Chains A and B, each alone.
Chain A
Amino acid sequence: MKKIIKLSFVILVIICLLLPLFVACNKKDDEDGGTDRLVIYNWEDYIDSDLLDEFAEYYEEVTGNSLEITYTTFDTNETMMTKVLKGDANVDLICPSDYAIEKLLKADCLLNQKDIYNELKPQLDELGIDFEGMSSLGKGSGNIEDEVIDVITDMFSAVKSKDGKPYTEYMTPYMWGTLGILYNVNIVSEEELDEYGWGVLWNVQENEELENKILMKDSVRDTYAAAVLYMKEYDLLPEGYGYEDYSIGDLINCTDDAMLSAAEKVLTEQREHISGYEVDFGKDDMLNEIVYADFAWSGDALWAIEESYDEETDEYLLGYYVPEIGSNIWYDGWVIPTSVNNKLAAMMFIEYMCQPMSAARNSMEIGYTSAADKELMRNDVEVCEFLEENEYDVDEYFEDEGRYPEINEKLGVMRDFGTRGEALVQMWQRAKSGNGVSPVLWWCLLGITGGVGLAFGIYFLVQSLRYRPRKIKPISPEKNNE
């Protein structure tokens, strides 16, 4: 009897603990038929959030079902990949970077968008819509910039899914850009940048004001690219491996031991000249003039430059520069993972994002360059009106070299490093940990032990002086007798 009471109590407690879970699970099941769901997994601050509601309205208009969008975010590709690779991400759409898409594709986590399209075709005909803007359907590049598609096709031509389908059928580009130097125009001159290129981040020109006022990215892949490009520019590449003949793209994807140890050396040297590493506060520190040069992604840089506009003097405080020697070109793209529940909504969302107006609004909101076709956007009346509303000159906007750099062989895409990634991370850990224990620590330790030792020493000295044995005069026996 006692046992039964005990057992039932335990079960009761467990049920109480698990009750919220059951409730949550049940809710999913008894949804009414008219509501569809779409779960989007995107970078933080990477979309004009009004577009989400507008897409839901559009979806209802087309399909007759209302749409409930769940929008979740990640802050690094690694966080996102850990979740997706472990199968914990129950999402319909993800927006990873170039190499992350490669990794997810190799791990068989993505669905082929062309196949989905063919599967949905009858339904699409019924609804009277078609996907013209997407580049992944094998019908040309759609609304996406041809040059971007060319770079991707070029770089990832060797990457195929397990059943031999090309990389480009798995993703539709969303945003793209370069890596470069965001600088303060009052401290760093353009001549300096032209002459020293990536060396500015190592302060090779010995600009006194710049010393210890440089920020690097706390992200191993980007910082490695900067180190390799710097070595290329200053002839520091390890000799005897033929690296001199490598293209920029090959160089930044080279993770041989010799290259890694050379990069470690220059990154360790760099520690002496920089203020530190960041991933998020660089823009603000540049605007507040706490630092004067920052290794930055083009979108962040463009956003910061807009913010740095001074109305009184009509000048921009910040500038963005991509060194002549070459740089990294990167892009993020929409992919549909195997965990997708609502293929139609996912595909429609990608298509919606490819529309010139959505592209312009996203770009305006976040500062990054949309992968949508430049000419298409420029010829779109609505887009031009929108840009003018936001006080942009249309021609200036599309000819800005920071926003739309010329794509040539000097810009290389970084691929997934595969198993060499571990060696790279270990190199990065070594570079970050520096050469030895900080002397400040030794001095502190010495000071504390010295201080405590001194205090105790003084105490015992005083004690032994005060209570030192005194000479006692012998007491005369006569007195004692009295």
Chain B
Amino acid sequence: MAKIKFKKLRLTKKVFSIPYILFLLLFVVIPLVLILVNAFLDSDNNLTLENFKVFFTSRANLIVLGNSLLVGIITTAFCLLIGYPVAYICSKMSSGKIIVLLYILPMFVNFLIRTLATKAIFIAMGVELGMGTVLFGMVYNYLPFMILPLHTTLSSIDKSYSEAAQDLGANKATVFLKTTLPLSTSGIISGITMVFIPTISTYAISQLLSNGKIFLFGDSIQLSFEQGLYGVGSIMSLVMLAFVLISNLIMNAFNSNSNAVRRSLW
């Protein structure tokens, strides 16, 4: 009797996943296939490779891509440099959770409103809008995504590891470098992934905080689709996807190489 009941339960569990699978098919897989198909079509729907030629031979497109990658790397580096100490200190304090909450607080406001407010502040301060303000906006917007996974990982590290290291005669710097840092690798990696991937595809922030003067890859894709250049736009999206996949692979490789406790948010 009990056996039958159990079987039925398992059955329903499976069934419950079907709506989500349908959702994925409809809104993730089919659009991706459409993008792939579009990449090989010209404006009259004929099969062509012209779009690839247009994209890869244009110096401007490659400059924009390079700019975006650099912005992504720099934003991620800044977020890590600022976020790690914050997360580290918070994980040591008893009231750390509340302080982390304060860091996440700006995220309760819609990011467009936040960015517009940032722009207003810069204008009021007389700061000229440009690459500097764009970088600031990026770091400001994505910092919480770095702090959160770092804080989770750091506060879940067992204290006895660093105590043991101290017992064995390591000074504070060595304790940090040889125990805490390696143990928090998974947090660093999920933080980097969560910041780097959205930054290379972002477009509204750069547009708003530089009055459209800084033109990143996301802006380029948006412009292409808006102006009806679906072929080139699709190729740009594919290139972006490739970069996201590559960075994911690299991150995963790092993650499995480290012997740390694998406890990441995602």
Which residues of A are in contact with B by a Cβ distance under 8 Å?
2, 5-6, 9-10, 13-14, 17, 76, 78-79, 81-82, 212, 215, 218, 220, 271, 274-278, 290, 419, 421-422, 425-426, 428-430, 432-438, 440-442, 444-445, 448, 451-452, 459, 462-463
Contact = CB atoms under 8 A, between A and B. Distances in A.
B179 interface: no
B228 A436 contact: no
A423 to B, nearest CB: 10
Interface stretch (B66-74, B149-157, B242-250): B66-74
Given A5-B11, A6-B11, A220 B227 contact: yes
Query: 5 closest A-B pairs (Cβ-Cβ)?
Result: A276-B211, A277-B212, A430-B60, A440-B131, A433-B60
A448 B81 contact: yes
B58 to A, nearest CB: 7
A426 B64 contact: no
B211 to A, nearest CB: 2
B87 to A, nearest CB: 17
A76 B222 CA distance: 13
Contacts of B9: none
B58 A448 contact: no
Given A433-B64, A463-B174, A425 B229 contact: yes
Interface in B208-238: 210-215, 219-220, 223-224, 226-229, 232
A315 to B, nearest CB: 24
B237 to A, nearest CB: 15
Given A425-B224, A429-B224, 13 more contacts: A6-B11, A17-B19, A218-B212, A275-B213, A276-B129, A276-B211, A276-B213, A277-B211, A437-B67, A441-B70, A444-B74, A445-B73, A448-B81
B73 to A, nearest CB: 7
26 contacts: A2-B11, A6-B11, A9-B12, A9-B15, A78-B226, A82-B228, A274-B213, A426-B58, A429-B58, A429-B223, A429-B224, A430-B60, A432-B223, A433-B63, A433-B64, A433-B67, A433-B215, A434-B215, A435-B63, A438-B131, A441-B131, A445-B74, A445-B77, A451-B81, A462-B173, A463-B174
B130 interface: yes
A462 B226 CA distance: 57
A178 to B, nearest CB: 23
Contacts of A438: 67, 131, 214
A433 B78 CA distance: 24
A274 B129 CA distance: 11
B162 interface: no
Interface residues of B, number: 48
A432 B15 CA distance: 51
A43 B214 CA distance: 28
A182 B131 CA distance: 27
B229 A422 contact: yes
A276 B66 contact: no
A413 B64 CA distance: 33
Contacts of B173: 459, 462-463
Contact of A426 (B54, B67, B123, B213): B54
B128 interface: yes
Contacts of A429: 58, 60-61, 64, 215, 220, 223-224
B228 A271 contact: no
Nearest to B77: A448
Nearest to B12: A9
A463 B175 CA distance: 12
Contacts of A426: 54, 58, 229, 232
B19 A440 contact: no
A419 B129 contact: no
B43 interface: yes
A94 to B, nearest CB: 17
B132 interface: yes
Contact of B74 (A274, A428, A434, A448): A448
A220 B129 CA distance: 22
Interface in B118-166: 123, 128-132, 135
